[in-house]
Chain A
């Protein structure tokens, strides 16, 4: 296989990474909440997608609107009753970090209890296709996942730019205090942002479930991938998270040219660390002054 092949595959997967990362990026950008359970919500969405297929034979492309709706609602509930009460603009972030770790731990082990630890992969005959473009093989499920991510991203940016709720979210993320003076209901805006953040990651999870096996413990690695993407793009920047996600997909894939695929994530984590050390504000982030 050629390097081009790896780049193309990486790009297709990276598009989905971009989508799941944008969810984490939105939640951090708007509320400064570091959600360590994000990967576990994604795992949950992969299971939802999987169950829709093995149960009533609804394929992920058709079930994704339901999955999105359910996860937005789930996110709003989680924010309303769990995350919201310990978040807010307080100086001590410990409680919020630890609460999301706890939520993640519960989600993982409840799924372990329900489905066991063996990873599962769905097989959908209708999606098992692929084609050659000038010697480069394009895999069907990965292409569909990428297109789904691109469509969602377009809708997300339209939503953030052109709807009142979207503008409220952006206003709250830039300056929550000023936003309240403009009559924005912060509680509601935060709950909806959290819901949308979880929903975006859930769509990404549904897309990944078409070619990635799902097990109760897949979330952690994806959480780190999401953080890597978000830091790479710049903490707090949703568009940065997209670019970061694509870069990580490509790095993961291209690294397989010279090293075994089991080490792919080592390169991701290494890039994550290098960015933290060299350019902590990320590619698109702004440097913050202390005083």
Chain B
């Protein structure tokens, strides 16, 4: 934790020393440019940490540059006011780009960002401003950001780098950084553990845009002086930010710093040495660097080297899952102040259609405090759809869902998790670049616990389910059964009022099924309601106090397990008409008498 801040401070001191010692004009300019693009790279990296690759940051440097000149020339404002206004304008534009595209998954955000700087560039040129000039005013150096001594620009760029770097480092080392990584790893899962992903992505993008605009302002004053639309809005700027960050390592704090330190001096040197004979030499270097890094170390230079140096042993104690729920019980006792409503969740006449296909109709039932409700039915009966509707991963076409009397039909998934509805997934999900502990901790934080509390809850529940010795492993290093336990720990760590388990037993053998229910009993206290989807009716008979049978999108039976499994409609749904009269679902099927 503290070590990164020490290294960063040492780096700043080193750069300051360089800035003070260097006398060569050209070397000072290289230092300034390296700092400028490292700062912009740090900013570009923030949304990229959440998996949002922008190809349009030139829109923000361009707005920074043009907005600054406009404010200074038209209104005669001081340079700093101009910078603040440009930063605000860039943040607003980021909101305009992000708000619609962040709702979509996949490449849409990246594609949309590509178009914006092109539009702005054409409009600025068509508006009659292909070039604007920064008014030269070295009389008031502080107010105008214009200095006679090129060394002053090093200090200016270093100041921006220090501020943005400290902010980004604080982000990277905190809950914020891990939340961003969680969004990149698995956005659906992040939403289901209470992370408002849209807000986070927008926040990251707006911050990034504002910093890029500030960088545009500094760039204009320190280097350009004449602002050409093709230069500040050009694709080359966007590519530059991607290059420094990707070569260094996307999603890592040191990535853009390492990348800028490698690429900018090299490209500047080439431009000066061979630029007149080899036009575009620096771009060829960027291009080759991108290709080479993508092929050889696709995670970037810094992570590849750093992780090789600090590889930690992944081995815990031998393969046993010792459960210890003392700490978890203690936490549960502390929290025992919850109101004991009778009815927690009400599903009233809910309907869901996909196109012309109705997958769920008129589903009505309630879940009371402490319920142990089993949801059974053949494939395609609508069980998972029902879960998705309850947790906000899909919206019903009709009917309503109430939680503690409050209508939550239209509430997004993260808000429902924070209310106390938590779920697991049929196919175990995980934040793949985080350890088991961090996986659970994100859920604890997402439910609204403070950092210290979240840490305590996380340790306690991991011990309770028997993953105490596996806490520092990545999901990819866990067995199928351990993943199920992790899934359970993640869903239960927030002490939800209603816990929804989607086929938790699928793929487990008989012994593991027993172990899973044992772990479930250890982490769930009596007043928590548990709803389990399961194919295997037998497994649910002993666990649940109530069964709900679905078939073809309709609830066909409900009541005590014994009643439901003897219901002819349920037997028909499972075994077909022919056997409906003769068999019960639970007794071992005898050999049918052949007629």
Contacts and interface: CB of A to CB of B under 8 A. Distances in A.
A262 B53 CA distance: 29
A265 B108 contact: no
Q: How big is the B interface, by class? A: 35 or more
B246 A94 contact: yes
B122 A262 contact: yes
B586 interface: no
A110 B288 CA distance: 11
B233 to A, nearest CB: 12
Interface in B282-302: 283-284, 286-291, 293-295, 298
Contact of B286 (A36, A102, A270): A102
Contacts of A224: 114-115, 118
A82 B235 CA distance: 23
Contact of B119 (A96, A103, A270): A270
Contacts of A56: none
Contacts of A280: 104, 108
B126 A260 contact: yes
B250 to A, nearest CB: 6
B125 A291 contact: no
B255 to A, nearest CB: 12
A105 B286 contact: yes
B111 interface: yes
Contact of B298 (A86, A106, A272, A273): A86
Contacts of A113: 278-280, 284
B115 A102 contact: no
Interface in B25-63: 48, 53, 55
Contacts of A82: 291, 295
Interface string A214-245: 00100011001001100100010000000000
Nearest to A81: B295
Given A263-B126, A270-B119, A291 B284 contact: no
A94 B295 contact: no
A223 to B, nearest CB: 8
A52 B239 CA distance: 32
Contacts, number: 132
Interface string A110-129: 10110011000000000000
B54 to A, nearest CB: 11
Interface in B105-149: 105, 107-108, 110-112, 114-116, 118-119, 122-123, 125-126
Interface string B245-278: 0100010000000000000000000000000001
Contact of A94 (B53, B280, B394): B53
A97 B110 contact: yes
Contacts of B112: 272-273, 276
B287 A105 contact: yes
A106 B100 contact: no
Interface string B196-228: 000000000000000000000000000000000
A116 B287 CA distance: 18
A98 interface: yes
B423 to A, nearest CB: 11
A75 to B, nearest CB: 16
A239 B422 CA distance: 43
A112 B279 CA distance: 7
Contacts of A110: 280, 284
A86 B294 contact: yes
The prevalent SS among residues of B at the interface is: helix
A231 B104 CA distance: 13
A91 B185 CA distance: 8
A101 B105 CA distance: 21
Given A227-B114, A269-B115, A291-B388, A94 B250 contact: yes
Given A98-B294, A106-B291, A113-B278, A290 B393 contact: yes
B242 interface: yes
B395 to A, nearest CB: 12
Contacts of B239: 101, 105
A82 to B, nearest CB: 7
Contacts of A91: 432
A85 interface: yes
Contacts of B122: 262-263, 265-266
Nearest to B279: A112
A265 B110 CA distance: 19
Interface string A169-185: 00000000000000000
A112 B111 CA distance: 26
B197 to A, nearest CB: 12
B284 A106 contact: yes
A291 B110 contact: no
Given A98-B290, A224-B114, A266-B123, A86 B295 contact: yes
A34 B109 CA distance: 13
A61 to B, nearest CB: 32
A109 interface: yes
Contact of A97 (B53, B119, B293): B53
A104 B235 CA distance: 12
Contacts of B298: 86, 92, 94-95
Given A265-B122, A291-B393, A105 B110 contact: no
In this complex, the member of B53, B108, B284 whose beta carbon has the largest number of chain A beta carbons within 10 angstroms is B284
11 contacts: A34-B111, A86-B294, A86-B298, A93-B107, A101-B55, A101-B239, A113-B279, A224-B118, A263-B123, A265-B118, A291-B388
Interface of B: 48, 53, 55, 100-101, 104-105, 107-108, 110-112, 114-116, 118-119, 122-123, 125-126, 188, 235, 239, 242, 246, 250, 278-281, 283-284, 286-291, 293-295, 298, 354, 384, 388, 393-394, 425, 432
**The 5 residue pairs across chains A and B that have the minimum distance between CB atoms:** A102-B290, A105-B287, A109-B280, A106-B287, A99-B294
